[in-house]
Every structure is written in structure tokens, then in C-alpha cells.
């Protein structure tokens, strides 16, 4: 079903959102939602997971299609599960592998959302502008790319919980890739932009996920 979900997401974005709305919104099927119960059942499930330490609060936010928040990545430790005075010292070593796995999953999910937004917005705009075959179509798409990625960095920084400077470098690199593909398309008369987006869909999420490995600056 995943290819169908992708096609529907792109169609919804193209048909329902204008250019300004695309800067803030995008369509995404939350497949996990198909397996969820009602609000009371989900609340009980999440409460159990959080209080017993096998779900983090940010993992719950992602499952409910909300952005992660700083400081909510650590699992809680039930007081009645501590074993004597040495439990706090043992906790980090005992939970480190599980915590690392949860963090990787959370980071990958956030990276996929970032990529989905870029792909849907770029494909919709490309189809709308470039398919008109107008004399200034390439210039219009180039202007859209620059505008989109100028505002995209802040959202990437929030989604990936990384420093804004890292998100700005990522956005600038993505913008330059798209503009380079557009330039090749104009010169060589081949669909380089769509080919680049297809390549991104295959392997770019892992690259975006690396942004989540950059620790934000903190003050003591």
C-alpha cells in the first residue's frame, strides 16, 4: 500500500494546497493510525508505556502526528522498580541500547516527514510551472526553489532538533541540487529535476536523519 499512499499524498498536496500553504502544510498518511483504538484506549496505552519506561514522551508525540519537543526523549523510570541505592547509577548502562534504538527510530520518522514535505512541494510546483512550457517557466521554478528553502530551514531545525545553522546548510545544499538539476534540464532537455526527486525519495531520508545526530547548543 505504501506506493498508493505516496501517490495520494502527492495528489492531495497538489489539489488542495496553494503555494503559501505548502510552506506550512503537507499531506501525509499516518499508517500507524490504522491500528489505533479510540482516544481512551490510546491514552491508556501511552500512559502505560511512558510510566513504565518503554515509551518516551516524544515517541508518543510522533505517533500522534505532533512535532518532538526538547527534553522529552528520556524514558521515565518507575520509582518502584529501582533496586536499592545503586539503581540510578545502573540505569544509564542498562537502558543505553534500548534508548539508542528508540532515538534512531524517532529521528528516522522525523527525517521522513522532512523529505515528504520537500518531495510533495517540489513535484507539485514542477508540474504546475514547468509543464506549462512557458518562456519563463524555468525562472519561476528557480524563484520558487529559493523561496521554499529559505523558509524551510527553521522547520527542519525544529523537526530534527538540530541547530539552525546545520538546518540552513542542509537547506542550501538541497536548493543548489535542485537548481543544478534545473540548469541541466534547460541545457540538455532531459527531466533532471524529476530524476533528482526520485533519487531523493530512494536515499535522502538517511542523509536527513544525520542532522538529528548533531547535538544542539546548550547552556549550563
Q: What is the pLDDT of residue 118?
A: 93
Asked, for residue 219, whether it belongs to a domain, the answer is no
Number of independent structural domains in the chain: 1
Q: What is the pLDDT of residue 204?
A: 92
Per-residue pLDDT of the chain (220 residues; tens, 9 = 90+): 666 777 777 777 777 777 667 666 777 766 655 555 566 777 777 888 888 777 888 888 877 777 788 888 888 776 555 544 444 545 555 566 666 677 777 888 888 889 999 999 999 898 888 766 667 888 899 999 999 998 899 989 888 888 889 999 999 999 999 999 998 877 766 678 989 999 999 989 888 988 876 544 333 3
Asked, for residue 22, whether it belongs to a domain, the answer is yes
Q: What is the pLDDT of residue 145?
A: 93
The Cα 205–Cα 199 span in angstroms is 11
CA distances from 77 to 47, 51, 163, 187 (A): 13, 7, 29, 60
Q: Which residue blocks in 83-134 are alpha helix, DSSP H?
A: 87-130
Asked, for residue 130, whether it belongs to a domain, the answer is yes
Asked, for residue 87, whether it belongs to a domain, the answer is yes
The Cα 90–Cα 217 span in angstroms is 27
Asked, for residue 114, whether it belongs to a domain, the answer is yes
Q: What is the pLDDT of residue 99?
A: 65
Q: What is the pLDDT of residue 196?
A: 93
Domain residue limits at 88: 2-213
Asked, for residue 159, whether it belongs to a domain, the answer is yes
Asked, for residue 218, whether it belongs to a domain, the answer is no
The helices-and-strands tally (H runs, E runs) of the chain is 8, 0
Kindly report the backbone phi and psi dihedral angles of residue 195, in degrees, each rounded to the nearest multiple of 5, phi listed first.
-65, -40
Asked, for residue 189, whether it belongs to a domain, the answer is yes
CB of 114 closer than 8 Å to CB of 160: yes
Amino acid at each position: 500500500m505504501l506506493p498508493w499512499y505516496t501517490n495520494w499524498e502527492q495528489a492531495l498536496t497538489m489539489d488542495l494546497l496553494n503555494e503559501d500553504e505548502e510552506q506550512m502544510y503537507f499531506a501525509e498518511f499516518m499508517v500507524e493510525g490504522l491500528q489505533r483504538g479510540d482516544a481512551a484506549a490510546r491514552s491508556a496505552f501511552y500512559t502505560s508505556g511512558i510510566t513504565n519506561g518503554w515509551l518516551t514522551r516524544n515517541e508518543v508525540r510522533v505517533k500522534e502526528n505532533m512535532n518532538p519537543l526538547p527534553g522529552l526523549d528520556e524514558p521515565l523510570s518507575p520509582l518502584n522498580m529501582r533496586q536499592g541505592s545503586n539503581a540510578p547509577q545502573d540505569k544509564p548502562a542498562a537502558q543505553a541500547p534500548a534508548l539508542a534504538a528508540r532515538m534512531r527510530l524517532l529521528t528516522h520518522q522525523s527525517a521522513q516527514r522532512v523529505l515528504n514535505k520537500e518531495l510533495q512541494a517540489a513535484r507539485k510546483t514542477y508540474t504546475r510551472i514547468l509543464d506549462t512550457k512557458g518562456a519563463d517557466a524555468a525562472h519561476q521554478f528557480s524563484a520558487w526553489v529559493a523561496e521554499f528553502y529559505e523558509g524551510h530551514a527553521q522547520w527542519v531545525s525544529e523537526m530534527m532538533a538540530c541547530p539552525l545553522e546545520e538546518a540552513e546548510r542542509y537547506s542550501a545544499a538541497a536548493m543548489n541540487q535542485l537548481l543544478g538539476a534545473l540548469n541541466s534540464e534547460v541545457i540538455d532537455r532531459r527531466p533532471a529535476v524529476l530524476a533528482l526527486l526520485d533519487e531523493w525519495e530512494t536515499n535522502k531520508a538517511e542523509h536527513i536523519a544525520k542532522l538529528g545526530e548533531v547535538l544542539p547548543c546548550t547552556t549550563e
